[in-house]
Chain A
Amino acid sequence: MVLEATMICIDNSEWMRNGDYGPSRFQAQADAVNLICGAKTQSNPENTVGVLTMAGKGVRVLVTPTSDLGKILACMHGLEIGGEMNLAAGIQVAQLALKHRQNKKQQQRIIVFAGSPVKHEKKTLEMIGKKLKKNSVTLDIVNFGEDDEGKTEKLEALLAAVNNNDTSHIVHIPAGPNALSDVLLSTPIFTGDGEGGSGFAASAAAAAAGGISGFEFGVDPNLDPELALALRVSMEEERARQEAAAKKAAEESSKQEKGGEEQDATMTECASEGASEADNKKNEFLQALAMSMDEPASSHDLQDTEMSDAATEDPELALALQLSVQDSAKDSSSQSDMSKLLADQSFVSSILASLPGVDPNDPSVKEVLASMQSQSEPQQKQDEDKAPKEEDKK
């Protein structure tokens, strides 16, 4: 998201009539320029882009740095091809145009499309590069088209003179089936120095490849950049949060063997956590993301917090929820307790006897009892059945 003012230097010399790139070299260049303008304006709305031509009758500035994309696209129409490219003059005029930018806080950047042979000496280019570096202007070079002896060498020397901490780049694009702009998308010129316009680049690359939407989060950054940005930011925050939760879960799993007491402690912790977090949409969204990310360790906590969230207003409800959660967690243990109780026949019969209208001797009741005790040993059951029967009979 660097605040930048960019000047794009276009090569509209005779060599651009060649058709080895796209429909023609010039057309491929124009597409690339459009993409760059879009990417720059999107990564930061205050970025400005300007365009100048290096060939023709002389170096001519078509549009001074502006954030108005329409103006830039309009000026690309009706450009004539002819003449020879003057790289040195082009860069110097670009530097001058950047010097007079309106917002002095913007970083200065020049992007040069070098498609025709370079007639300057290496020394001249190196001096220009040094001057750019001194005034902290960064330079990106797109080397395509003609490749005569020394051109690559000269451009590399120019880059070496300008480069300060890897902020300037050079890209060599040979003629091939892929369009110029597609190849450029994957280069650091588009992706910027950091994550920059990576979202834009990724989506544009996906669209260009003709595949299905490979957008992050399923949202097209072109259609809704704010939403895409919000999703990206919340994703990073969630990752950080999950790391913290994973740490806590690791601690919890070591504690879980100690028994229910500890579970109570963690659950109350979760409840208090939920209470402290404000109940808002963002929270639910983060939880939804986390659950979809399928992290079992943290999802347990999240479920607890979710319920606690709902219950923050009503302390009684919170207590009830806690108890029910405890019960569900303790299910296995409680079930075994229940079956033990049922196995104790005397206890069951005493309960049944106290119930009005129920005769323990009733065969249907006995059948139910027998089915309930399916877990206990059958012999033991029968013995116990017989014993109370005889007692009753007495």
Chain B
Amino acid sequence: MACTHDHSCEDHDCSSNWSLYKHIDLAKVTALNEANPGSVKSVFKAWEERLNSSRERLESNEGDPELLVYIPFTSDVKIKSISVVGGADGTSPSKLRVFINREGIDFSDAQSMQPVQEWELVENLQGVLEYQTRYSKFQSVANITLHFPESFGGDTTQIHYIGFKGEATQLKRDVVATIVYEITPNPSDHKTRAETGGGLSHVE
């Protein structure tokens, strides 16, 4: 099993590097334009099983090779590189664009927005290629959205495996849930201590 490092693989186990799949919140993973709802969850597995396509794989709808995959993590992660194993006969994705920490992206958003990074992919049927990220931009990733706009000429796009290499931190990124904006301040909302009669200062 060849790796992209320049030493032989028997010394250590590659699979431990690709262990970020354990930090994926699988229940909340969604995909747009998938032929079977829910099949996207089958592409996140251990490194050893990346070529094992006996289970379901992610396939896009007939005649439309675009795919959008939304992946939330259970804690913030730093992503060093990404690996994608596609299908044969031109059904591998040819391009990848990623967006970080944005929820609810759909196809029109994905096509118009500037991605954090994009790659030209090659057919990677053996799962030996990885695409490195600009690490400084992927330092605290709470969720990532992968957009595969086209395939290598096939009618559909098939994905057998998606892997992430990196580290998981124990932090969790907190989003501000509700913000109340004031157009004009209401004095009754901003009582100072002096007005309510507290504090030590008196005027005598």
Give A104 to B66 CA distance when docked, in angstroms.
21
Q: List CB contacts (< 8 Å) of A13-70 with chain B.
A: none
Question: Which chain A residue lies CB-closest to B104?
Answer: A104
Q: List CB contacts (< 8 Å) of A65-108 with chain B.
A: 99, 104
Interface residues on B, range: 10 to 19
| Residues in B neighbouring A104, C-beta threshold 8 A | 103-104
| Residues in B neighbouring A135, C-beta threshold 8 A | 32, 106-107
| Residues in A neighbouring B75, C-beta threshold 8 A | none
Chain B nearest CB from A102 CB (Å) reads 11
A374 at the interface (CB under 8 A from B): no
Q: Are B107 and A134 neighbours in the complex by a CB distance under 8 Å?
A: yes
Other-chain contact of A165, B37, B61, B106 (Cβ < 8 Å): B37
A164 at the interface (CB under 8 A from B): yes
Chain B nearest CB from A167 CB (Å) reads 9
Interface residues on A, range: under 10
Other-chain contact of B106, A99, A130, A133, A164 (Cβ < 8 Å): A99
Closest 10 CB pairs of A and B: A104-B104, A134-B33, A135-B106, A104-B103, A136-B32, A134-B107, A135-B107, A135-B32, A165-B37, A134-B32
Give A133 to B34 CA distance when docked, in angstroms.
10
* A130 and B32 contact, Cβ closer than 8 Å, known pairs A104-B103, A135-B107, A165-B37: no
Give A131 to B93 CA distance when docked, in angstroms.
20
Q: Which residues of A contact B (CB under 8 A)?
A: 99, 104, 130, 133-136, 164-165
- Chain B contact residues: helix, strand, loop or mixed: loop
Q: Are B103 and A130 neighbours in the complex by a CB distance under 8 Å?
A: no
Given pairs A99-B106, A134-B64, 4 additional interface contacts (CB within 8 A): A104-B103, A104-B104, A135-B32, A135-B106
Q: Are A130 and B64 neighbours in the complex by a CB distance under 8 Å?
A: yes
Give A11 to B61 CA distance when docked, in angstroms.
32
Other-chain contact of B66, A99, A133, A134, A136 (Cβ < 8 Å): A134
Q: Are A133 and B37 neighbours in the complex by a CB distance under 8 Å?
A: no
Question: Which chain B residue lies CB-closest to A134?
Answer: B33
Q: List CB contacts (< 8 Å) of B29-61 with chain A.
A: 32-33, 37, 61
| Residues in A neighbouring B104, C-beta threshold 8 A | 104
| Residues in B neighbouring A133, C-beta threshold 8 A | 61
| Residues in A neighbouring B107, C-beta threshold 8 A | 134-135
Give A134 to B106 CA distance when docked, in angstroms.
9
Chain A nearest CB from B109 CB (Å) reads 8
| Residues in A neighbouring B108, C-beta threshold 8 A | 99
Chain A nearest CB from B44 CB (Å) reads 20
User: What are 11 pairs between A and B in contact, CB < 8 Å?
Assistant: A99-B106, A104-B103, A104-B104, A130-B64, A134-B32, A134-B33, A134-B61, A134-B66, A135-B106, A164-B37, A165-B37
Give A164 to B31 CA distance when docked, in angstroms.
14
Question: Which chain A residue lies CB-closest to B37?
Answer: A165
| Residues in B neighbouring A130, C-beta threshold 8 A | 64
Give A134 to B149 CA distance when docked, in angstroms.
13
Give A393 to B37 CA distance when docked, in angstroms.
102
| Residues in A neighbouring B33, C-beta threshold 8 A | 134
Question: Which chain A residue lies CB-closest to B28?
Answer: A105
Give A231 to B107 CA distance when docked, in angstroms.
43
Q: List CB contacts (< 8 Å) of B8-39 with chain A.
A: 32-33, 37
Question: Which chain B residue lies CB-closest to A104?
Answer: B104
Give A164 to B103 CA distance when docked, in angstroms.
23
Give A130 to B60 CA distance when docked, in angstroms.
13
Question: Which chain B residue lies CB-closest to A137?
Answer: B106
Question: Which chain B residue lies CB-closest to A165?
Answer: B37
| Residues in A neighbouring B32, C-beta threshold 8 A | 134-136
Chain B nearest CB from A161 CB (Å) reads 11
Question: Which chain A residue lies CB-closest to B35?
Answer: A164
Q: List CB contacts (< 8 Å) of B82-136 with chain A.
A: 103-104, 106-108
Give A134 to B104 CA distance when docked, in angstroms.
14
| Residues in B neighbouring A134, C-beta threshold 8 A | 32-33, 61, 64, 66, 107
Give A135 to B64 CA distance when docked, in angstroms.
12
Chain B nearest CB from A321 CB (Å) reads 49
| Residues in A neighbouring B64, C-beta threshold 8 A | 130, 134
| Residues in A neighbouring B106, C-beta threshold 8 A | 99, 135
Question: Which chain B residue lies CB-closest to A101?
Answer: B104
Question: Which chain B residue lies CB-closest to A100?
Answer: B104
Question: Which chain A residue lies CB-closest to B109?
Answer: A99
| Residues in A neighbouring B37, C-beta threshold 8 A | 164-165
Question: Which chain A residue lies CB-closest to B36?
Answer: A165
Chain B nearest CB from A393 CB (Å) reads 97
Give A134 to B66 CA distance when docked, in angstroms.
9
Give A61 to B104 CA distance when docked, in angstroms.
22
Chain A nearest CB from B37 CB (Å) reads 6
Question: Which chain B residue lies CB-closest to A103?
Answer: B104
| Residues in B neighbouring A136, C-beta threshold 8 A | 32
Give A130 to B64 CA distance when docked, in angstroms.
10
